[in-house]
Structure 1
Amino acid sequence: MMKYAVVTGGSKGLGAKIVRNLLENNVYVISVSRGENEEIAQLKQVNNYQFFRCNLASPTEISNVFEEITKLVFSPETEGIYLVNNAGVIDPIETAGNLNDEAVLRNVQINLTAPIQISNLFLQKAKETNIPLMIANVTSGAGERPVHGWSLYCSTKAGINMFTKTVSLELENHQSPIKIFAYSPGIMDTEMQQKIRSSSEAAFAEIEKFQGYKEKGMLRSPQVVANALVTLMMEKEIENGKVYHVNELL
């Protein structure tokens, strides 16, 4: 019997560390992103890792790629499946009234529509096959408070939080064993933080605070954050619909 994990945005940042950690825990990992992480590709064991290229800004591409993935993971030999909706974008960092339409649509598609679309498919397959499923949606503290210049990021993360809670309610009402939760990783030393620090003060009012996080060594390692998530998924009793914060787990 095999345990599978499907991780979106698995090529860099937190996603890459989640992939590495799951591989170390003898889970068969499927990494999904626009490009493959070369270090993971070189380290991978042939029998427990696959990479699927997918542009999560395209609903059609998501449908095609994830249909293939579900055929692989929802099999009679599968013991359980973890779905980690990790992929996300911070752009556009800009005040409302100055937003680019194309950037708005891309942000909503990647941060909110894609994880809903993927989760919906996995929920369908899990109900059809009775294979245990756990969904982890990576969110942000920005989904719980307004941040000047982050109207899209705050809104989509708030949306993923409410989607998680609503699906949990539906599962509970149907007495389903499927688990779903959200995970807020806090501030990490990743490319996303670099983008945040390089934005303008006019677009992002808290830029000096975030620059200070880096200068004062306050950014947490993605490895530490990934370890906390994987430990939560594999070793803890999950409270359905809960938004877990990394500070609670370390």
Structure 2
Amino acid sequence: MRYSLITVFIKHTEEFQVRKKIINISSGSAVYPVPDMSVYCSAKAGLNMFTQCVGQEQANRTSPVEIVAIDPGMVDTELQKSAREQDPLTFAMAGPFNEAYTSGQLKSTEYVAKQIKLIIEKEYEAGVMLTSIS
């Protein structure tokens, strides 16, 4: 039987009487189909469902693990940069990603990290999906 890191974390900390939190980084691509990104979109959609299911499983535990998924919006990452550098003839999103970049729509990783720190400090319903952090 295979276990995910999250499953192992939950199993090994179930007796800990401290606050435990898992934050998964999702994407708008989890809910909006994107051409040429089927694997990425499917993986993020699966991560969202996994987050929600684990949240329900943890809801009535004595010492539950808080689990949330965050869609930070478009972020200026290496993955985003790589996507912008693709040939628009073979990667449909190269144009829209470049437009988002040149128009200043991308969030910096530093900004997103600060927002995640705030999310860590707050309590949320287990399995909640947080979208477009601002």
Please report the TM-score for the alignment, with normalisation by the length of structure 2.
0.89
Partner of 1:243: 129
8 Å Cα contact 1:142/1:157 also seen in 2: yes
Relative contact order higher in (CA < 8 Å, ≥ 6 apart): 2
8 Å Cα contact 1:144/1:158 also seen in 2: yes
Partner of 2:67: 180
Residue identity in the other structure for 1:119 = I
1:173: how far off?
Answer: 4.1
SS of the aligned residue for 1:205 comes to coil
Residue identity in the other structure for 1:159 = G
1:195: how far off?
Answer: 0.7
Partner of 1:215: 102
Q: Which runs of 4+ in 1 moved over 4 A?
A: none
Q: Residues 145, 207 of structure 1: CA spacing in aligned structure 2 closer, same or farther, 3 A cutoff?
A: same
C-alpha distance in 2 between matches for 1:151 and 1:163: 18
C-alpha distance in 1 between matches for 2:27 and 2:116: 14
1:231: how far off?
Answer: 0.6
Q: Residues 229, 246 of structure 1: CA spacing in aligned structure 2 closer, same or farther, 3 A cutoff?
A: farther
1:193: how far off?
Answer: 1.0
Partner of 2:117: 230
Partner of 1:165: 52
C-alpha distance in 2 between matches for 1:130 and 1:117: 22
8 Å Cα contact 1:225/1:246 also seen in 2: no
Q: CA RMSD in A?
A: 1.8
1:128: how far off?
Answer: 3.4
Any unmatched runs of 5+ in structure 2? none
Output aligned runs, 1:96-245, within 5 Å: 117-174=4-61, 176-234=63-121, 236-245=122-131
SS of the aligned residue for 1:134 comes to strand
C-alpha distance in 2 between matches for 1:154 and 1:175: 34
Please report the TM-score for the alignment, with normalisation by the length of structure 1.
0.50
C-alpha distance in 2 between matches for 1:242 and 1:134: 12
